[in-house]
């Protein structure tokens, strides 16, 4: 505070600051979440999938994601991968043969970029010997009423144009969603088939939910049962079919009140179709590290003004017990550490093996990300290696570079509109160092989590109005 006040009064020295880098990985899978069951996005599922999966697989992948700056309504994503990657065997073969290459391309149109959850996209893919596959999707959501409708029209290999026009593969879904409750269903109108139904609720930091995927034929629902075959009524048969494929889950995140705040700690318990019991936890920390950054000494900023940098640490654990066979049980532990805006380290260990990865990202326009992974399969005794390369042109990062006032959090210095287009390596934000930050820099403070350093609003990544909906 004293540094900030003295600079306002005309001091030539800038205040001490703590660097707040942006999150290295932005979750893009959530953009289409309103076309799927809300149940699948609860109980820390997306975060655990990101922690255990991204960059750690023994495969070769390349990803391109581009959004033209002249028209932010359009973006395209292309993926190409070699599933098995590179293996160094210990047997006579020496090297295991790689699997068939897979690839896909998605063209997406968002009528209003401020509401990215309403969209139309077309995805075409090639899955090696499986042949080609194309899918068209559309979603429209009204954040005010919480009502949403979506459609998915897949074109399977070998399908004729007539089948596509008749909508035999069409799936329609409807849902109601709010910050506290979500309920919906997906069905095939032409086949009168119920594919998916769910209900999810939130009370404070407690999230509960139930889901079923019965593939239930609705046509004979009200027909009379055949004599001497099934004494149950049609309603009873439908209920039994739904319950046999039902999953239930509950999760608790202390202090988490919205979907954009996943909580510093999440504990989840899930029963999957009465066959698997899953117990998981995820701990997200934003820690301040005492470090001097030699690259922050240009222009009006002197090298001594940086007293620390924020690091992001995620730790996750998951145990899945197969109640029918011990062979299907899964135990895995994972951790990731983002040291700054450019470097992240990840590791995972489980019953099947161990793996580690190093990820490097440049924030030029377009941004480039490279990840290298090494793993050891305990079942086969073989080491394996993988690599990921991604190129992305971003447009949603609205970072403000400067020193922040303590009183109203407005910047004293902002880059020009043209300067913001050339984000480059200047995406890291700063906040005025508090007395506690200065004490820690001098070796007198404790390493404590900062409550707001990864808040999207503070980072300049203001979430859309629909982000808090379940």
What pLDDT was estimated at residue 127? 61
Q: Band of the pLDDT at 462, cuts 50, 70, 90?
A: low
DSSP string covering 284-348, please? EEEEEE----TTS-STT--GGGEEEEEEEEEEEEEEEEESS-GGG-EEEEEEEEE-SSSEEEEEE
Q: Among 58, 117, 54, which residue's Cα sits nearest to residue 88? A: 58
Decide if domain 2-156+169-468 falls under CATH 2.40.160.10. Answer: yes
What pLDDT was estimated at residue 414? 37
Query: Is residue 76 predicted with pLDDT exceeding 80?
Result: yes
Q: Among 247, 296, 292, which residue's Cα sits nearest to residue 269? A: 247
- CA distances, 467 to each of 131, 259, 434 (Å): 36, 6, 31
DSSP string covering 10-63, please? T-SSPPPEEEEPPPS----GGGGGGGS-GGGG-TTHHHHHHHHHTTTSSSEEEE
Query: Is residue 188 predicted with pLDDT exceeding 70?
Result: yes
Q: Band of the pLDDT at 9, cuts 50, 70, 90?
A: very low
Structure tokens at 116: 């990215």
By 3-state DSSP, what share of the chain in percent is helix, strand and coil, each rounded to 5?
A: 15, 40, 45
- Is 167 exposed, middle or buried (CB count within 10 Å of its CB: 0-12, 13-18, 19+)? middle
Question: Which residue has tokens 């990864």?
Answer: 454
Query: Is residue 458 predicted with pLDDT exceeding 70?
Result: no
Sequence spans of domains, the chain: 2-156+169-468
What mean pLDDT comes out for the span 253-261? 61
What mean pLDDT comes out for the span 239-244? 86
What pLDDT was estimated at residue 221? 64
d(CA 398, CA 113): 14
């Amino acid at each position: 505070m004293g540094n900030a006040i003295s600079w306002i009064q005309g001091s030539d020295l800038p205040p001490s600051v703590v660097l707040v880098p942006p999150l290295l990985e932005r979750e893009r899978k959530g953009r289409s979440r309103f076309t799927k069951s809300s149940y699948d996005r609860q109980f820390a599922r997306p975060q655990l999938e990101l922690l255990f999966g991204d960059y750690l697989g023994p495969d070769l992948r390349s990803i391109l994601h581009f959004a033209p700056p002249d028209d932010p309504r359009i973006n395209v994503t292309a993926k190409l991968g070699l599933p098995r990657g590179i293996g160094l065997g210990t047997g006579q073969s020496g090297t295991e043969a790689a699997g068939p290459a897979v690839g896909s391309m998605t063209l997406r149109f968002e009528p209003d970029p401020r509401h990215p959850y309403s969209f139309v996209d077309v995805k075409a893919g090639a899955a090696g010997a499986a042949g080609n596959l194309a899918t068209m999707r559309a979603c429209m959501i009204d954040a005010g009423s919480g009502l949403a409708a979506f459609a998915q029209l897949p074109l399977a290999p070998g399908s004729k144009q007539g089948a596509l026009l008749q909508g035999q593969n069409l799936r329609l879904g409807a849902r109601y969603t709010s910050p506290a409750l979500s309920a919906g269903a997906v069905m095939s109108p032409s086949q009168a088939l119920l594919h998916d139904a769910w209900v999810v609720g939130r009370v404070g930091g407690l999230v509960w939910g139930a889901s079923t995927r019965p593939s239930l034929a609705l046509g004979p629902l009200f027909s009379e049962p055949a004599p001497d075959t099934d004494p149950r009524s049609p309603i009873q048969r439908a209920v039994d079919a739904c319950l046999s494929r039902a999953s239930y889950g509950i999760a608790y995140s202390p202090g988490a009140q919205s979907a954009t705040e996943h909580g510093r700690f999440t504990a989840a318990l899930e029963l999957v179709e009465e066959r698997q019991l899953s117990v998981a936890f995820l701990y997200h920390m934003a820690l301040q590290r005492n470090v001097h950054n030699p690259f922050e000494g240009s222009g009006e900023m002197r090298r001594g003004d940086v007293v620390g940098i924020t690091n992001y640490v995620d730790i996750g654990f998951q145990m899945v017990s197969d109640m029918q066979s011990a062979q299907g049980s899964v135990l895995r532990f994972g951790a990731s550490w983002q040291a700054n805006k450019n470097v992240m380290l990840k590791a995972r260990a489980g019953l099947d093996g161990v793996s580690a990865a190093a990820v490097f990202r440049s924030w030029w326009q377009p941004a480039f990300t490279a990840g290298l992974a090494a793993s050891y399969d305990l079942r086969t005794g073989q080491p394996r290696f993988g690599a990921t390369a991604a190129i992305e042109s971003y447009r949603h990062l609205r970072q403000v570079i400067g020193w922040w006032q303590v009183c109203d959090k407005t910047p004293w210095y902002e880059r020009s509109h043209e300067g913001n287009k050339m984000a480059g390596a200047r995406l890291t934000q700063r906040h005025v160092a508090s007395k506690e930050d200065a004490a820690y820099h001098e070796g007198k403070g404790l390493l404590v989590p900062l409550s707001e350093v990864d808040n999207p609003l503070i980072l300049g990544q203001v979430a859309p109005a629909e982000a808090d909906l379940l």
